[in-house]
Chain A
Amino acid sequence: QKEVEQNSGPLSVPEGAIASLNCTYSDRGSQSFFWYRQYSGKSPELIMSIYSNGDKEDGRFTAQLNKASQYVSLLIRDSQPSDSATYLCAVNANNFNKFYFGSGTKLNVKP
């Protein structure tokens, strides 16, 4: 079992729609959760972090964390073509011993 799992996609949504990206993790004691955006050929860029159960909103982005179910999600409202990228989920495992990246979900926002 992988430490962090994501659907590779591609996830296609029309412009203006809500894009929903999901991630599950295996270490129940994980403490910190992150979403990175990576444009093709570029390096990952941190866009959201979340540490407590519930929702965290930042502009058009909302991160959701459910530790009981061991999943974290990213919602992108009013999706734009410029949001087209691969989104990486990252998890700081129990006792901060490890930091794991998922394989990423490719998002295509169609004009």
Chain B
Amino acid sequence: ETGVTQTPRHLVMGMTNKKSLKCEQHLGHNAMYWYKQSAKKPLELMFVYSLEERVENNSVPSRFSPECPNSSHLFLHLHTLQPEDSALYLCASSLEPWQAIDGYTFGSGTRLTVV
């Protein structure tokens, strides 16, 4: 596989559930990102990782917990979410943090619905 792969593509969860989103990149990039995109709203940066180290956390509620075990994998652990957390969650990668000579590469996203 090449590019950035996200699983699952769709997820429906109750407010008391715990679930995880997975992202994997096969591009040899050193930086990975989680973005949230709500309906008719711009992309919101959530987390930035560089070589497994979190370098930015944009005031995201603690019910979202990222994990980066290595430079190819990124997880977003979810627990006790709210209906307003329903959105498209996008993973992206770039060669280095913030450097994007070739732009960011996005995964296909996970469409999350909280019921």
A→B interface (CB under 8 Å): 32, 34, 36, 41-46, 49, 88, 90, 92-93, 96-99, 101-104
Contacts and interface: CB of A to CB of B under 8 A. Distances in A.
Contacts of A92: 98-100
Contact of B106 (A32, A45, A103): A45
B98 A42 contact: no
Interface of B: 41-43, 88, 90, 94, 96, 98-109, 111
Nearest to A34: B103
Nearest to A92: B100
B98 A98 contact: yes
Contact of A43 (B94, B98, B102, B108): B108
B108 A96 contact: no
B100 A32 contact: yes
Contact of A44 (B96, B106, B111): B106
B76 to A, nearest CB: 15
Most buried by A among B42, B105, B106, B111: B42
Given A44-B106, A93-B98, 10 more contacts: A34-B103, A42-B109, A43-B107, A44-B43, A46-B103, A90-B100, A96-B96, A99-B94, A101-B43, A102-B42
A36 B99 CA distance: 16
Contact of A46 (B99, B105, B111): B105
Contacts of A49: 102-103
Contacts of B100: 32, 34, 90, 92, 96, 99
B103 A90 contact: yes
Contacts of A101: 42-43
20 contacts: A32-B101, A42-B108, A42-B109, A43-B107, A44-B106, A45-B106, A46-B103, A46-B104, A46-B105, A49-B103, A88-B43, A93-B98, A96-B96, A96-B98, A96-B99, A99-B94, A99-B100, A99-B104, A101-B42, A102-B42
